[in-house]
Chain A
Amino acid sequence: MRKCLVVSGQWSVVRNSWLKSKFLFLLFTVHCSLSTVLYGCASAKKTELPAIQIEAIDFNQRGVLAVEAGKYNKALVEFQIALQLNTSVDNQKGIAVNLLNLGRLYLLMERFDDAQTTFDRVVNIGVGLNDQFILSEGYASLGRYYYLTGGNNNKDAIDSMERAAAIDRKEGYHTIGNRLNIMGMAYKADNKPEEAEKVFNDALKLNKGYDMEADIADSLRGLGDIWIEKGDYKKAGELYENALAIDKKLGLSAKISIDLSNLGILSLRENDTKNALDFFLRAYAVGSSRGNDRRKLKLLDKIIDIYTALGDKNSAEAYSLEKEKLIKLVPAGFKQGKERIKEP
């Protein structure tokens, strides 16, 4: 009987501790579930911005996505609505962001004059707000505009990019490599390959440090351009291949087309016409789905030249017809072989 009682007592102790553990476990489970639900409920509406600003942000975001999808007209409407909404509540920073996007879209649409006016407004707003982010982006965009318009504007491009890079350096913005890439291209366009190479190397280092993949590809491509001019085709090829690998990984169609085109040019320099043709055809195929018509025309010219040189008249004629169709879509300046040069 005594033994029984002792065993029973020990059993009850064990059972009590088991029940206690079970209870604690249940309590913990309930706590976790409640915490999850309450956290969810509490975080359901964490945005504190006014409704109009949220709407403007949505339109702006949709515009950026439309640009990435190559739907420029749709993007234009989205940005204009976002701008209208931000203007209606005098959200200056929002207005600047919308203007930046509009200006960059104008650059893509080759509406250069509109782009410049827009970027000037952005810089004015940035100065008014003393907002370093807006100023950096504004100067960089202006720099890009000057670089694209070419000619004497390359110096302005370099100045603007230096301003943007100085702000980025001071504020620790990760976009500094992007500014240096454009600056490098402006140096190259201004026949200063040594400065360009130095800037591209700096950009590559910074972009790798900040893990800015798209900008790393740009730096590699820029360096590839320098090395191809130096005659080191092997090194240029490696750089272009690396840039292509990154752009493919990121799915950037326009840049993939450029990388393939660069590899085609490299093959031509190496007198490998068939390989060059293959690269140009691939670049054209990528560019046909997404890309700018100006670049497509350049590619078509190269393809037609190669087919003519190879004596393939049918293919040359087929691509000439393609070119004729496309030429109607490209601004008149290009057809006449004029370069857009803006006097300083």
Chain B
Amino acid sequence: MTTAKAGQKDPRFKNLEKKVGVFVSIVIVMLLSIFFFMGKERGMFIKKYHLFFIVDSGMGFIEGMPVKLSGFKIGKVKSMSLTSEARVKVALEISKEYQKWIRHGSVARMMKEGVIGETVVDVTVSPASAMIIEDWKELPYEKVMGIEELIVKEVKPVLQEVKETIGYINNPEGDIKKAIANIKKLSEGLLETKTNLNGILKDAKNTVSEATSAFREADSAFGKVGNIGEKAAPVIDKLNTVAEDAEKASKKIPEVMDKAIKIMDDVKGFSDVLSKKSHGVKNMLEDTEEMLGDTKEIIKGAKDTWPINIMLPPREEFKLVPLAGVEK
């Protein structure tokens, strides 16, 4: 009772209803403003429309996943459901204002923003001349390779090239095998030529010695001309044989030369192929090295960043191999 009286006299309670009313109104207005701005921020008052696409598997898709167009967020994945063919229908909720960019010819793709970025649904822009895709119509979906598939794609041609190179080397009709066969033939030819030349030289030596003795005999006994003539006949025969052999050998020389030239061509061709292939392999190795270096940097950076750095085992400056105490 006393309190009530005091309350009546207290000037602070004058116009209390009004004050309370104003205060409550301000609070309500503030709350409404907050709700309004939050709603605006969340795009609650923006007109939206829906598209969908069908994929074989819903792996990687989640409700609320951003939908981007030219890297700009234009909507989100609204829902996912299974179709009667056990495929996945992914519904997109997109701001109406961006509808003008999504026309026939646009496709949806699931992409990752950078190596460790978030996964988004990317919608491509199509030419302005095409028809706008209407609400709740299907948007074609295009499968994009993931990082693993990209690595496989990068490595596969290299492996293919290596395989081809090995196949090329092993091919019996290939330059390498032919070159080896030609070298073999050349060495055989050279061996034969050497044998022939040895024979020729031997014959020539014999002939010369016989001729010398014949001339000596002719010189010492002029009267024995008839005998010399008899002796000279086989010598002349042998000389003819030598000449024939020499001719044969000389005929083989161009053939050997041809073989040698062919071998040189084969070797050159092989070295060209090797050079070409090794250039590709070198480039690929450099790219891979660069990529691994970048990945290492990224991981290193991530490891030094909170909160990952507190999840990792601490760096032990003086970590030692345990000194086993007992066993020998």
* Bound CA span A189–B16, Å: 98
> C-beta contact mask, A189-222 vs B, less than 8 Å → 1, else 0?
1000000000000000000000000110011011
Q: Which residues of B contact A67 (CB under 8 A)?
A: 321
Whether the pair A5, B13 counts as a contact (CB closer than 8 A) is yes
Whether the pair A141, B319 counts as a contact (CB closer than 8 A) is no
Whether the pair B325, A181 counts as a contact (CB closer than 8 A) is yes
Contact of B320 among A137, A147, A295 (CB under 8 A): A137
> C-beta contact mask, B297-314 vs A, less than 8 Å → 1, else 0?
000000011110110000
Q: Which residue of chain B has its CB nearest to the CB of A200?
A: B326
B315 on interface, CB distance cutoff 8 Å: yes
* Bound CA span A57–B310, Å: 18
Contact of B318 among A2, A40, A133, A295 (CB under 8 A): A133
Q: Which residues of B contact A49 (CB under 8 A)?
A: 317
Whether the pair A141, B323 counts as a contact (CB closer than 8 A) is yes
* Bound CA span A65–B306, Å: 24
* Bound CA span A60–B320, Å: 8
* Bound CA span A150–B328, Å: 9
Whether the pair A218, B326 counts as a contact (CB closer than 8 A) is yes
B3 on interface, CB distance cutoff 8 Å: yes
Q: Which residues of B contact A185 (CB under 8 A)?
A: 325-326, 328
Contact of A254 among B306, B315, B320, B327 (CB under 8 A): B327
Q: Which of A238-265 contact B (CB under 8 A)?
A: 254-255, 258
Q: Which of B1-52 contact A (CB under 8 A)?
A: 3-5, 7-8, 13, 16, 20
Whether the pair B326, A54 counts as a contact (CB closer than 8 A) is no
A297 on interface, CB distance cutoff 8 Å: no
Q: Which residues of A contact B118 (CB under 8 A)?
A: none
Among A97-105, A274-282, A302-310, A317-325, the stretch in contact with B: A97-105
Whether the pair B321, A101 counts as a contact (CB closer than 8 A) is yes
Q: Which residue of chain A has its CB nearest to the CB of B8?
A: A2
Q: Which residues of A contact B3 (CB under 8 A)?
A: 6, 9
Whether the pair A64, B304 counts as a contact (CB closer than 8 A) is no
In the assembled complex, how far is the CB of residue B308 from the closest CB belonging to chain A, in whole angstroms?
10
Contact of A97 among B320, B322, B324 (CB under 8 A): B320
B149 on interface, CB distance cutoff 8 Å: no
B113 on interface, CB distance cutoff 8 Å: no
Contact of B307 among A9, A12, A40 (CB under 8 A): A40
B173 on interface, CB distance cutoff 8 Å: no
In the assembled complex, how far is the CB of residue A286 from the closest CB belonging to chain B, in whole angstroms?
13
> C-beta contact mask, A11-28 vs B, less than 8 Å → 1, else 0?
010000000000000000
Q: Which residues of A contact B5 (CB under 8 A)?
A: 2
Q: Which residues of B contact A45 (CB under 8 A)?
A: 304
In the assembled complex, how far is the CB of residue A58 from the closest CB belonging to chain B, in whole angstroms?
7
Whether the pair A6, B319 counts as a contact (CB closer than 8 A) is no
Q: Which residues of B contact A219 (CB under 8 A)?
A: 325
A148 on interface, CB distance cutoff 8 Å: yes
Q: Which residue of chain B has its CB nearest to the CB of A143?
A: B323
Q: Which residue of chain B has its CB nearest to the CB of A9?
A: B7
Whether the pair A40, B306 counts as a contact (CB closer than 8 A) is yes
* Bound CA span A6–B4, Å: 5
Q: Which of A40-67 contact B (CB under 8 A)?
A: 40-41, 43-45, 47, 49, 54, 57-58, 60-61, 63-64, 67
Q: Which residues of B contact A295 (CB under 8 A)?
A: 327
Q: Which residue of chain A has its CB nearest to the CB of B322?
A: A214
B230 on interface, CB distance cutoff 8 Å: no
* Bound CA span A326–B5, Å: 105
Which of B7, B316, B321 is most buried by chain A, counting CB atoms within 10 A of its CB? B321
A178 on interface, CB distance cutoff 8 Å: yes
A155 on interface, CB distance cutoff 8 Å: no
Q: Which residues of B contact A44 (CB under 8 A)?
A: 304-306, 309
Whether the pair A5, B4 counts as a contact (CB closer than 8 A) is yes
Q: Which residues of A contact B326 (CB under 8 A)?
A: 181-182, 185, 218, 221-222, 258
Q: Which residue of chain B has its CB nearest to the CB of A220?
A: B326
Contact of A58 among B315, B323, B325, B328 (CB under 8 A): B315
* Bound CA span A57–B316, Å: 7
In the assembled complex, how far is the CB of residue A206 from the closest CB belonging to chain B, in whole angstroms?
12
In the assembled complex, how far is the CB of residue A256 from the closest CB belonging to chain B, in whole angstroms?
11
A135 on interface, CB distance cutoff 8 Å: no
In the assembled complex, how far is the CB of residue A85 from the closest CB belonging to chain B, in whole angstroms?
13
In the assembled complex, how far is the CB of residue B34 from the closest CB belonging to chain A, in whole angstroms?
14
In the assembled complex, how far is the CB of residue A226 from the closest CB belonging to chain B, in whole angstroms?
12
In the assembled complex, how far is the CB of residue A311 from the closest CB belonging to chain B, in whole angstroms?
32
With contacts A5-B7, A45-B304, A218-B326 known, is A64 near B319, CB below 8 A? Answer: yes
> C-beta contact mask, A69-94 vs B, less than 8 Å → 1, else 0?
00000000000000000000000011
Whether the pair B327, A258 counts as a contact (CB closer than 8 A) is yes
* Bound CA span A171–B317, Å: 19
* Bound CA span A136–B211, Å: 98
Contact of A5 among B8, B306, B307 (CB under 8 A): B8
A8 on interface, CB distance cutoff 8 Å: yes
> C-beta contact mask, A106-125 vs B, less than 8 Å → 1, else 0?
00100000000000000000
* Bound CA span A137–B322, Å: 10
6 A-B residue pairs with CB within 8 Å = A5-B4, A40-B306, A43-B310, A57-B319, A140-B323, A147-B328
Known A-B contacts: A6-B3, A218-B324. Give 8 more (CB < 8 A): A9-B7, A43-B309, A54-B315, A97-B317, A137-B320, A141-B323, A144-B324, A214-B322
Top 4 closest pairs, chain A to chain B, by CB: A218-B325, A181-B325, A40-B306, A104-B321
